[in-house]
Structure 1
Amino acid sequence: MAIPLLEYSPSSQNQRVAGYEVPGDENPPIFSLRNRNSPEDIQLAIEAAYRQIFFHAFKSDREPILESQLRYGQISVRQFIRGLLLSDTFKRSFYNLNNNYRFVEQCVQRVLGRDVYSEREKIAWSIVVATKGLEGFVDDLLNSEEYMENFGEDIVPYQRRRILPQRPEGERPFNITSPRYDEYYRGIFGFPQIVWQNAVRRFTPQEQTPKEGDPRNFLNAARNLSNKGNAPSRVSAMNLNYMDLVPRR
């Protein structure tokens, strides 16, 4: 018998209130395949899905079979997102390199388009991961009422409520605030790496840079010159030939 999802509440009463923001640059574009779309629109939706789930997909990370099924209308956008979440790339990059709590946080941000409400929500979804496995967790997340109300079958998930009232800047993207690897695995991989420089480089403004003919260009050369004269030769007076040294007339 599967354990039901624990109940959790939003962190404030305003979490699910519809926003009244004026659309701007901070609002991400919405990619929907609800109507009959052109091949260009489908390709844009595919790229947006890769950015949302993988942040960046190399050629080896792409899923050509899922892309072909989406182009020919055999699967919906929600099923395409499900395939990306269950792909080998997502398992290697997120599931295998994070604990259940961190993995739940990553999936909620990418799939539901928001940050987790509290630690209780992490615990609730981590129990689903432990009891139903990865596939059961992904199905429950995509079949949830919140996902269906906001994205449905044909809208690519995106980060919601980027603009916050009375703040000059909106929330940063999840891909920047939440690294792919957990702190434990970043320590194993040697991140962050510290590079030590032997020479200290100093910045000189352009107006202070010496031009051609400036004596400062020859300052280092002058400093390298030796200020010592030639030492006098030490010759004994007994070895001098005075007859040869007298000039002849």
Structure 2
Amino acid sequence: MCGLINLQSAPQYLEQSTKSAMSAGHKFILKKKLRPELVHMRSTTKASGHSARGSSKESSSIKENCMIFGENYSTNREKLSVGRKRKSPEVGEHPDSVDTRMTLSRKRQCATVLIKLMNHSFGWVFSEPVDPVKLGIPDYFSIITKPMDLGTIKRKLEKQIYSTTCMFAADVRLTFSNAMRYNPPDNFAHGYAKELSKIFDSSWKVLESKWRKECLITSTSAGVMKNHSESSTKDVHEGMAIIISSKYLLCAPCSS
């Protein structure tokens, strides 16, 4: 009696049927026929709405999480980049500088140089503090305000008073400069001091060259370790970025 009815034209159909004063039986049959299709259409529309809202929220949440991780990752990469651009203060910044700390090894090397000076044929002149009374030079302390001798240097070295190699070298040079300052050039003490001063300077240059090479090796090793650490950190962050990107790809809604 009635064929398939287009849902879009259902309201018009009902309106026309009502205006045509259809019978109560026809109205009942028509409502019964349309009700399942209307219910199905409403449920489908509601489900689609929930799915769309859920997909939108899920996509928004995923993008937000990825933005957060992405920001942290970017910040860390920027920090690493800044760290790489900065010149390492240990490597090559001061090629002529020498670490002057008095280590146990350097203390022994300084002692070797000192013994060499004291055992020299001229060393006895400077092995003990100057005695103005014994030597008959009462004006000595009025001219030499900071007296020094090799024996005093030896005792200071043994008591670990020197915290740097520079302090040790300064006292040795002070010993010889005092002798050359107080005694005239034609005096034997002046000549002895000048000769020992040359010997010390020669030996000290050898030690400084050795220490400079040790500092360079240590600095280079530290630079290699630092670069290795930065590379490892970079690999970790890149690995995290891949994981996060993979997670986003897995969680993102399919576009097809």
TM-score by length of 2: 0.20
TM-score by length of 1: 0.20
More helix, by proportion? 2
Greater C-alpha Rg: 2
